[in-house]
Amino acid sequence: MKEGKEITFTATNDLTSIHIEPEQVPQPRSMKRGKADSSMFCESDNESDEDPEYLAAVKILKEEKERGLCVIKKKHESMIDCANLLAISERERIQELFEEKLALIQKRFTESNQVKTRRMAADEAKQHSHHISTPESTASTNSHRSKDICYLTVLLTEEEMVDDLQMMAAATQALYHVTGIPKVISAAPLSGNRLLLNDKVIEPNTPCTLRNGNNLIRNCVFLSTVVKEKENKEKRKDPEVGKKANLNGRL
């Protein structure tokens, strides 16, 4: 038989039944004390959960936590705002720099285009300007020119010359419009008392309006391009009459 166990035999109705009961082992005092301490600790926890001071301390701790989270949130929001402002300022600075460089490039190209346009206008003016030349002068002039270029001079009528002048004046006005240069009024007298004003031919007895600075003179009539000298109101004295007058005065 094993130690620590008791065996009891019980006879009922001539049958034998065996019942084994475990030995009651006494527990050490430390284990009993631990169980008692744990039960006391649980009871103290329950009591502390209901303690007003404990609840107040927990509430204060939670409020401090919320304040700390709010401070961190505001700090991050301020950092984001500063970053956005910095990005906006940098974007504006880059845009201003781009506009300055673009304006400089446009100015350079405009100046180069103006030079090209002036050269083209000058070449066109040379091509459309015709003059009368003798065969001798034409031969001497062509000797200095390239052999691949052939020039032809023809005698133009007066109206054809007026048409050429009008065409050159119109090209000049278009050049002023393209380059943005302030327009200059050009005038040239024509035959028949006509006047070429810019690219328009003004006939005699044409109604017009004159401008003198900011003043307008209306209901004027163009008469002629011939400039008439003003007659002196004072009559010129005859030198002999003057001499006679002096002599008479002396006498």
Burial bucket for residue 127 (CB in 10 Å: 0-12, 13-18, 19+) = exposed
Mean pLDDT: which of 65-69, 181-185, 196-200, 218-222 is highest? Answer: 65-69
Which of left, alpha, beta for 4 (phi over 0: left; psi -120 to 50: alpha)?
A: left
CB of 133 closer than 8 Å to CB of 153 = yes
Q: Which residue has the higher pLDDT, 2 or 65?
A: 65
CB of 165 closer than 8 Å to CB of 196 = yes
pLDDT of residue 246: 38
Range in 99-103, 138-142, 159-163 with the lowest mean pLDDT = 138-142
> Domain segments of the chain: what residues?
50-128, 131-139+152-226
How is residue 110 written in tokens? 């405009």
pLDDT of residue 200: 84
- Cα 246 to chain centroid distance, Å, stands at 85
Q: What percent of the chain is modeled with pLDDT above 70?
A: 57
Q: Which residue has the higher pLDDT, 202 or 46?
A: 202
* Residue 35's pLDDT band (cuts 50, 70, 90): low
Instruction: Please state the pTM of the whole predicted model.
Output: 0.30
Consecutive H or E run containing 206: strand 206-212
Over the stretch 206-228, which tens digit does the pLDDT of each residue have? 888 887 778 888 888 888 877 66
The average confidence (pLDDT) of the chain is 70
